Amino acid sequence: MLEDVFDRLAPQICDSHVHVGKWSDGFHFTPADVSNNLSKLGLRKWAVSSTSTVDEDYEQVKSEFNALLVSSPEQVVPLLWVTPEMVNRSEDFSLYSDIPFRGFKIHRYANEWDLTGRQIKTLMGAARLKRIPVLIHTGWTPESEAGNFGGICNEFEDVRIILAHGRPLDQTIKVMGDNANIYVDTAYMTEEDIGELSQTLGNDRILFGTDFPLDEYFYPDESIMERYKKRVNTLVAMFGEDVFLTWANRNFDKVFGV
């Protein structure tokens, strides 16, 4: 019965937080595996960034996106994971124009971003000019907590900014309450925290995201496909189909301009 719910909704589901590329401990999520698994799940769209960027291996990143765009051209929404060094090399981002990116991603835990510095303001200015969103990792370490990004969110109030994971929740709610341009994704967020977000701020700025396929690393003894279906089924059972599709369909289109 629950699998029937997932199968019925899958063609409408968009995942705002997917990865491809090199990961820690020798893990490498290949374009073929990511594309094949998400195609088997039957998702409508997925926004994907490459973890290979952490190694400053832009040729690898380009190769991964080319492979994804060949295998899943209608589903892939490329997000360019940007480091400060990448901004230094090409402040207008023309050096990276051979990837048809439709958003940026930054990760302060993985890369040393100065939140008042030239590089991040250059990136945010480019996002404003290109009218594309910026996905920002939050959590795990103090420098990545959501509250740290309140200033940049205020300064660039016309840029759509997604606080990935929404960590910690109280800071996320504060930043979102202060800025109408801020969204949050549900990747590795507890159902309880999602419920508090929904009750406090409504559903128009929540995006369904999963960090797929990182479950393969964090839960090696479980099927990542079954975990994905279970997550969707749980959210639908708790919040209802209409609310879930607001997160996983309508808000995705609004943020990524699909």
User: For the chain, how far is it from start to end, CA to CA, in angstroms?
Assistant: 31
Rounded Cα gap, residues 245 and 55, in angstroms: 36
**What's the token pair of residue 142?**
């103090």
Q: What pLDDT is stored for residue 27 in this prediction?
A: 82
Instruction: Provide the domain count of the chain.
Output: 1
CB under 8 Å to 108, separation ≥6 — which residues? 115, 136, 137, 143, 144, 148
What average pLDDT values come out for the chain (258 residues) when binned by 10 residues?
A: 81 98 85 97 98 89 96 97 97 95 95 96 98 96 95 97 98 97 97 98 98 94 96 97 98 92
Q: What pLDDT is stored for residue 258 in this prediction?
A: 60
Whether pTM > 0.85 for this model: the answer is yes
Q: Which domain holds residue 111?
A: 2-256
Spell out a b/e string for 193-218, using b for 16 or more CB atoms within 10 Å of the CB, else e: bbebbbeebebebbbbbbbbbbbbee
CATH number (domain holding residue 57): 3.20.20.140
Q: Are 230 and 3 spatial neighbours (Cβ–Cβ below 8 Å)?
A: no
Q: Specify the DSSP class assigned to residue 246.
A: I
Helix (H, G, I), strand (E, B) or coil at 9: helix
Q: What pLDDT is stored for residue 28 in this prediction?
A: 87
